[in-house]
Structure 1
Amino acid sequence: MAAPRWETDFGAPGGLFRRLRAAAAEAWSGYTWHPFVQRLSDGTLPLPAFRTYLIQDYLFLIHFARAKALAVVKGESLAAMREKAAAVLAILDETKLHLKYCADWGLAEADVVATPESAETVSYTRWVLDRGLHGDILDLEVALAPCTVGYGEVALRILADPARRAEGNAYQSWIDTYAAEDYQAMARAAAARIDALGLSHGGESRFARLAADFAEAARLEQRFWQQGLDAVTGGGGEGSVHG
């Protein structure tokens, strides 16, 4: 029986990305198939949970752009610096699109930008920046990759979900965004970059620390999903991964 696409599409066999994913298997699965994701798939996610997620995701994007800007500083070559500079501009443009998408869900721009960052957003984004500030480009990219590659895997898992609601799912536009080939190509490229940096920046000798960081990023992603459910249940409800 062939392995599912999400196990074969990202990273090369024996490469650093797949090794990191395997080492963080429990945390990674808890992130990419979190109850929030499952309820996106079957269309049962409460709207307030999704709106909470959308607002915090906008605030997250701002700091994601800052982390990508740090990757320009940490870049190992001029080509890498150019690539990361382009990524910063793309994310800044995405913030505008995200606000328009929020409006489609009844969220006014003024309300979105006025919302404080949640503890989950602060802890995740500042942790990524800290790893980048104190490490090199490989440390930073390993902290960033679970977001980019993980959303690609989330989309593939949803597409393969027997319980998926393919017709009349209110969240289909979100699913389509990450299932689209342009996003999938970006996720594959992010995994390939981890493989390449693993070879050029001594990934084997640093594997234990990199694996710990990769797993921590996956756990922080879990908590980012969970805050949406907590907005509905009052915290610590079904599917909670706190602790």
Structure 2
Amino acid sequence: MTHDYGMTFPRLRDAAGTVWRDYTHHAFVEGLRDGNLPREAFLGYLVQDYVFLIHFARAWALAVTKSETLEEMRACAATVDALVNDEIGLHVKTCAAAGLSEHDLYNAEEHPANLAYTRYVLDAGHSGDFLDLLAALAPCVMGYGEIGARLGPVADDHPYADWIRTYAGADYQQVCRDAGALFDGAVTRRLGDAPMGTPGWTRLCQRFTTATRLEVSFWDMGLSFGG
């Protein structure tokens, strides 16, 4: 199911093979769906995901400098705004209820799995071009959209209702559609109307698949906090 996230994303997702399902149907995700994920695992994940989002916002800010058009710059800048001012707020709110301040979150020690993933994305942007960076960013953006759409809707008393509703909600689904349109336009602009037949396409598939594997490791990390 593509959820209208454009044409480039589903092609890269299909090229990733079984690793995409490993990510979107991970035991951590299924625990969120069923509501039986240990709370310690969820809170540990949220702390690390807060740190992740800080670096993720920096990567989208880097995308502004890698852009070739004002339209691309505006789309990337809007994503930075959404990450810093909206999505991070969910983490702050949930962790505050557990006695963790935003100061605690910002200064949390970064887990090696988090370090590996975020630095891979940033390196993709620094060493590659705009498409390299989008390919490394896309699994997180679109994957959470797919996961949210599959897990929602949920009852008010579901223990992870806030998280699921954030990613299943109309606002985040629109973020995914906008990111898909950005990716499609960027690919056409740089690789033409038949990108899959170009040498650059293989590199994008590799970027996307590697980032997806790192998402699997991120969920593994989350489960490790559950004892």
Matched residue, 1:227:
221
User: How many angstroms does 1:109 deviate by?
Assistant: 3.0
Structure 1 position 200 matched with structure 2 position 194:
no
Q: 1:185 aligns with which of 155, 174, 185?
A: 174
Q: Distance in 2 between matches of 1:167 and 1:64?
A: 30
For the residue of structure 2 that corresponds to 1:20, the secondary structure is helix
Tell me if the contact between 2:55 and 2:118 (Cα under 8 Å) persists in the aligned partners: yes
Greater mean alpha carbon deviation, residues 137-146 or residues 197-206: 197-206
Tell me if the contact between 1:10 and 1:18 (Cα under 8 Å) persists in the aligned partners: no
For the residue of structure 2 that corresponds to 1:201, the secondary structure is helix
Tell me if the contact between 1:17 and 1:192 (Cα under 8 Å) persists in the aligned partners: no
Tell me if the contact between 2:72 and 2:182 (Cα under 8 Å) persists in the aligned partners: no
Tell me if the contact between 1:10 and 1:192 (Cα under 8 Å) persists in the aligned partners: no
Tell me if the contact between 1:10 and 1:149 (Cα under 8 Å) persists in the aligned partners: no
Tell me if the contact between 1:48 and 1:231 (Cα under 8 Å) persists in the aligned partners: yes
Q: Distance in 2 between matches of 1:145 and 1:9?
A: 14
Cα 1:156–1:86 shift into 2, 3 Å: closer
Greater mean alpha carbon deviation, residues 19-28 or residues 42-51: 19-28
Runs of 4+ in 1 over 4 A off after TM superposition: none
Matched residue, 1:10:
4
For the residue of structure 2 that corresponds to 1:184, the secondary structure is helix
Tell me if the contact between 2:59 and 2:121 (Cα under 8 Å) persists in the aligned partners: yes
Q: Residue type of the partner of 2:211?
A: A
Matched residue, 2:30:
38
Tell me if the contact between 2:19 and 2:209 (Cα under 8 Å) persists in the aligned partners: yes
Q: Distance in 1 between matches of 2:73 and 2:181?
A: 17
Question: What whole-Å deviation, never above 9, does each CA across 1:130-162 have from its counterpart, x for those lacking one?
Answer: 0011111111111111111110000122138xx
- Under a length normalisation based on structure 2, what TM-score does the superposition of the two structures give? 0.90
Matched residue, 1:64:
56
User: How many angstroms does 1:96 deviate by?
Assistant: 4.7
Matched residue, 1:25:
17
Q: Distance in 2 between matches of 1:62 and 1:217?
A: 17
Greater mean alpha carbon deviation, residues 165-174 or residues 17-26: 165-174
User: How many angstroms does 1:40 deviate by?
Assistant: 0.3
Gaps of 5+ in 1: 1-6, 234-243
User: How many angstroms does 1:214 deviate by?
Assistant: 0.7
Gaps of 5+ in 2: none
Tell me if the contact between 1:10 and 1:188 (Cα under 8 Å) persists in the aligned partners: yes
Matched residue, 2:102:
109
Cα 1:155–1:86 shift into 2, 3 Å: closer
Matched residue, 1:77:
69
Q: 2:85 aligns with which of 90, 93, 107?
A: 93
User: How many angstroms does 1:112 deviate by?
Assistant: 2.2
Q: Distance in 1 between matches of 2:90 and 2:24?
A: 24
Tell me if the contact between 1:27 and 1:218 (Cα under 8 Å) persists in the aligned partners: yes
Aligned-pair identity (%): 47
Q: 2:210 aligns with which of 212, 216, 236?
A: 216
Q: Residue type of the partner of 1:135?
A: G
Greater mean alpha carbon deviation, residues 99-108 or residues 41-50: 99-108
Question: What whole-Å deviation, never above 9, does each CA across 1:107-126 have from its counterpart, x for those lacking one?
Answer: 23343233211101111111
Question: What whole-Å deviation, never above 9, does each CA across 1:40-83 have from its counterpart, x for those lacking one?
Answer: 00000000100111000110111011101101100111222133
Structure 1 position 158 matched with structure 2 position 147:
no
User: How many angstroms does 1:92 deviate by?
Assistant: 2.1
Q: Residue type of the partner of 1:181?
A: A
Matched residue, 2:39:
47
Aligned residues: 221
User: How many angstroms does 1:97 deviate by?
Assistant: 5.0
